[in-house]
Amino acid sequence: MAVPPPPSTTPAPSDIKIDPSVWENPYHPLPGPPQTAAERTLLQSLIASERASARSAISDKLTHASLKECAKDNCADVEWRWMDCLVNGGWWERQMGCGERKEEFRRCMRMQMENLKLLGYENHGTTAREKAIIADEADRVYLKQRAEIARKEAEEKGQAGTV
């Protein structure tokens, strides 16, 4: 039985031609360091626009995260009821993942995020104090909305019982 030869360690010759423009740096608009005042101004304006776009991208991510955090803070009592059900609820509730309380928490988060957006929580330049005031107001609005929903459900149950 013949033993196959070991694989070659030398790379195979390549016929692939790479376009030189692939190696050009698209982020540097000048062929070298700026020489004139106009080139320096151009480079400074490009750097400023890049910084602004990076700052904006970071700000958008942080704002969304803080919006979600704020909504979660406002729904802490609802989340606690859900977690308490998962730990201390009946056997069947735990097996079903405490679906009603989980849905109540999701509804709270959705409504809180909508209210926070409507009240201007995401607006740029909003101070921490203004955000706290907006969070309190969003919580008040949510509680009013939940009371209204509970009242409508009670009316529907009352009408269903009389029919």
Averaged pLDDT for residues 131-145: 93
Proportion of the chain above pLDDT 90, given as a percent? 40
Q: What's the mean pLDDT in 12-40?
A: 71
In this predicted structure, what is the pLDDT of residue 145? 94
Task: Please say if the pLDDT value at position 106 is more than 60.
Answer: yes
Residue 114 tokens read as 């909508």
- Which pLDDT score is estimated for 83? 94
- Per-domain residue ranges of the chain: 102-163
CA distances from 111 to 69, 71, 145, 157 (A): 14, 9, 9, 24
Quote the CA–CA distance of 146 and 139 in Å, as a whole number: 10
> What is the pLDDT at residue 13?
62
